[in-house]
A and B are shown apart, each in its own frame.
Chain A
Amino acid sequence: MKSQTSEKLLVEKAVKGDGEAFGELVRLYEKFVYNTAYGFLLQADDAFDVSQNAFLKAWRAIKGFKGESSFSTWLYRITVNCAKDSLAQRNKKRLELSSTDEEKVLDIPVSETPEKEYIRKEEVAELRRAIDALDEDMREIIVLREMSGLSYDEISKTLDIELGTVKSRLNRARTRLREILLEQKDKTLVK
């Protein structure tokens, strides 16, 4: 990871229109942006498209970046907005899809694997479905913490909420997530 000084230099160059410097920033933040997008979309191709869109939006807007927040917080906000927009569009489309198609979106291909691998994949699939079932504000905060890896302070700045709100919302999100997972298990047992 580059030092903060070199990141600052890269940002300054990018603001002046240096595409190669912005490219370096893309390399620094690609994992974060992709993981965040994946957390919202839960599908690799969609996450890739949203990530690319977020970076290109950032590139086109960087001339107006005044440094009022850190570059990372600014990029996090763009990413979250792009991911939420894309998720909203997809949810709209989902209403038109049949339930069978909906299952396909979240299906994980499971080939003949050892039992443990099968169980692990099943658990991950259950967790994806649970994340997908969370309300938007809970989903947003759980994704930023668990998948994007942001600290409470970074989440607070990105979402522009108090630190106490981060804690309480995250707590509620985890509780709800576990409830959904339990509900899913119960449904499976009934079947």
Chain B
Amino acid sequence: MNCKEIREMLGDLLDGECEREKEVLSHLESCEDCKREYDELVELKKKFKDVVEESKLSLADSVVGEIRKELYPKKKTPFFLRHIGLAASLVIIACLALYSSLPKPESADEAKNTASEDFRFAVMKDAVAELEEEAEPEDALLPFPRVEAEPESAPVPMPEAESIKGETYKDDSKVQYEITTETVFDEDIISATLYKNFEIIVDADIDSVYDILKDEVEIISSSEEEIIIPTEDTETAISLLYSNSFTPSNVNLSYSPNELPSVIKTE
């Protein structure tokens, strides 16, 4: 083989793909020009190793993330489901309004009942105070139904239950209470439930928060200090806040519907 033929095979030799390797190597031992040519190709090949700049990002993580997004798209809760709690609340309010508009029956024991209500109100206050003392710090914002244990003695006749609902303040926040009195074996068993709004604190001005939420969640009311939304919309609101790079706090709670509305406040 002459030098021209050899030089056409130097690349193949370099790549380990030369079919006539022995002949080419033998030629290189005796031909300085071809050897120089080969050495230059070796140098060129070495430089290729430095050409690629490593990516700062993980390609695999990025691709897998995109595939997961395609496989498991976030499902938006249908409109009617998101507002079912509100609809239920409106029905209850309508029923209560109808009930309170009905004429109250005259009662001979009206005075006695009033006195009894005063007594129960006093009991209620004590119960609420007791609940506030019992509440663990981490429970402070939970709408906890803390019901006093009922006596386990059986059989128990069907109790006659009466309840009082109302509102009071705890740590400058409005709370709702429900005191239930049950008479079992002539003994009054008092249970109390205390509800408190979920409070979400956001590190942003209230107008920005309002703009983000207004088209997606029900706004019950809003002021310069706070926005009130239905409890069932709380999770939607929180995800909207996160997706707009806000950092709401107090969000590690379980938002069950049919409780008090949620309050969104700014820091």
Interface residues, chain A, with chain B CB atoms under 8 Å away: 19-20, 22-23, 26-27, 30, 33-35, 38-39, 42, 44, 47-48, 51-52, 55-56, 59, 120, 123-124, 127-128, 131, 145-147, 151-152, 167-168, 170-171, 174, 177-178, 181
Contact = CB atoms under 8 A, between A and B. Distances in A.
B44 A174 contact: yes
Contact of A127 (B12, B47, B59, B68): B47
Contacts of A127: 44, 47-48, 51
Interface string B43-63: 011011011111111011011
Given A48-B57, A178-B40, A131 B63 contact: no
A19 B68 contact: yes
Contact of B11 (A30, A151, A174): A174
B52 A147 contact: yes
Interface of B: 8, 11-12, 15, 17, 40-41, 44-45, 47-48, 50-57, 59-60, 62-64, 66-68, 70-71
Contact of B8 (A39, A171, A177): A171
Contacts of A167: 11-12, 17
14 contacts: A23-B63, A30-B60, A33-B59, A35-B52, A38-B52, A48-B57, A52-B62, A52-B63, A124-B47, A152-B12, A152-B15, A167-B12, A174-B11, A177-B44
B53 A44 contact: yes
Given A44-B53, A59-B67, 19 more contacts: A19-B70, A22-B67, A23-B60, A23-B63, A26-B60, A30-B63, A34-B52, A44-B54, A44-B55, A51-B55, A52-B62, A56-B67, A59-B63, A123-B47, A127-B48, A147-B48, A147-B51, A177-B44, A178-B40
A33 B63 CA distance: 12
Contacts of B68: 19
Nearest 7 A/B pairs, CB to CB: A23-B64, A146-B48, A55-B63, A44-B53, A19-B67, A30-B59, A27-B60
A114 to B, nearest CB: 16
Nearest to A121: B50
B47 A52 contact: no
A80 to B, nearest CB: 16
Contacts of B70: 19, 59
- The binding surface of chain A is classed by DSSP as helix
Contacts of B63: 23, 26, 30, 52, 55-56, 59
Contacts of B54: 44
A22 B68 CA distance: 11
A34 B51 contact: no
Contacts of A39: 51-52
Nearest to B8: A171
A38 B53 contact: yes
B67 A23 contact: yes
A56 B60 CA distance: 11
Nearest to B67: A19
Contacts of A48: 55, 57, 59, 62
Contacts of B57: 48
Contact of A34 (B8, B15, B55, B67): B55
A51 B59 contact: yes
Most buried by A among B12, B50, B57, B64: B64
A117 to B, nearest CB: 11
A151 B18 CA distance: 12
A128 B71 contact: no
A59 B65 CA distance: 13
A51 B55 CA distance: 11
Nearest to B17: A152
A170 B48 contact: no
B197 to A, nearest CB: 41
Contacts of B40: 178
B16 to A, nearest CB: 9
Contacts of A168: 8
Nearest to A17: B71
